[in-house]
Amino acid sequence: MIPSLIVLGMLGLIFGILLTLAHQRLKIELNPLVEKIANLLPGLNCGACGYGKCSSLAEAIVKGEAEPDRCPATKPEIIGKIAKAIGKEISLKEKKVARLLCAGGEKNAKKSFLYRGIKDCQAAVLIAEGNLLCKYGCLGLGSCALACPFEAIKMDENLLPVIDPEKCTGCGKCVETCPKGLLQLLPRSRKFLVACNSQDQGAATAKNCLVGCIGCQKCVKVCEPEAITVENFLAKINPEKCNNCGKCVEVCPRGIIKMFNLLGDFPTV
């Protein structure tokens, strides 16, 4: 019995020594700069940057394969620290946030049938393109909210996603998730938006939704800088020409042209 214990003890000692030697020989030395940048990144490992982990992005930044501002969740002051750490100057880009191109929802968009399937927009759209008469409208099942890694999207009582501009990082996860293409990443400074995506003729839109754009061109006529055009029965605003006068909001009979306040939220009209 005792000899067996001695043998086992010796084997354990030998294996321990071998493992220690193997660890010393095979260990990978981490670049301290990579480690420093990884610690500056949020550490969410959300993949919004295109890399699987924050540490992978940090390594890519050090190698020059990614810019210091690649992570959309990183704050400007942290981006500055990252750029300084690698000895690079960078001009910060304007923050983009997700915006919803629909104002229909439960109260305004009429249904063609009652959907009782999986509560997922990707699944619902497979059945007759969704249960709305307007085939361009938000289905209201909240897939975008579930996809947001920063909890920046909440569904309101009208079953429309509401985006918190303070939490939104512009990662684009919600944009990828929406089967209707109703979420777009737009510069936060953009003040006016046509909250509709319907390309049906005016009469059809008026029948299908209480607030959809009918392409009446009233906004076009009052826009002095000619920033608004109507394409496929849908008004579009050119932010480069828009002077933020707000006349289009006043004349829109459907109330579909929305103005963001300083916080980026739709005001109550």
Q: What is the 3-state secondary structure (H, E, C) of the chain?
A: CHHHHHHHHHHHHHHHHHHHHHHHHHCCCCCHHHHHHHHHCCCCCCCCCCCCCHHHHHHHHHHCCCCCCCCCCCCHHHHHHHHHHCCCCCCCCCCEEEEECCCCHHHHECECCCCCCCCCHHHHCCCCCCCECCCCCCCCCCHHHHHCCCCCEEECCCCCEEECCCCCCCCCHHHHHCCCCCEEEEECCCCEEECCCCCCCHHHHHHHECCCCCCCCHHHHHCCCCCEEEECCEEEECCCCCCCCCHHHHHCCCCCEEECCCCCCCCCC
Provide the pLDDT for residue 2. 61
Q: Which amino acid is at 228?
A: I
Annotated binding residue 144 = yes
Percent of the chain predicted with pLDDT > 70: 90
**Is the pLDDT at 5 greater than 70, yes or no?**
no
Average pLDDT over residues 246-256: 95
Provide the pLDDT for residue 26. 58
Which of 68-82, 141-155, 161-175 comes out lowest in average pLDDT? 68-82
Provide the pLDDT for residue 24. 64
Average pLDDT over residues 118-133: 96
184-241 residue pLDDT tens = 999 988 889 999 999 999 999 999 999 999 999 999 999 999 999 999 999 999 999 9
Annotated binding residue 178 = yes
Higher pLDDT residue, 183 or 8? 183
Average pLDDT over residues 49-70: 89
Annotated binding residue 46 = yes
pLDDT classification of 43: cutoffs 50, 70, 90: confident
The average confidence (pLDDT) of the chain is 88
pTM of the model: 0.76
Annotated binding residue 49 = yes
- CB neighbours of 180 closer than 8 A, spacing ≥ 6? 102, 121, 125, 130, 136, 137, 138, 139, 197
Annotated binding residue 54 = yes
Percent of the chain predicted with pLDDT > 90: 57
**Is the pLDDT at 153 greater than 80, yes or no?**
yes
Average pLDDT over residues 157-177: 93
Annotated binding residue 209 = no
Walk me through the domains of the chain, giving residue ranges and CATH numbers: 32-93 (1.10.15.40), 96-259 (3.30.70.20)
Contact 131, 137 (CB under 8 A): no
- What are 165's two structure tokens? 């501009």
Provide the pLDDT for residue 262. 44
**Is the pLDDT at 104 greater than 90, yes or no?**
yes
Provide the pLDDT for residue 7. 64
Average pLDDT over residues 241-259: 94
Higher pLDDT residue, 243 or 24? 243
Annotated binding residue 71 = yes
Annotated binding residue 171 = yes
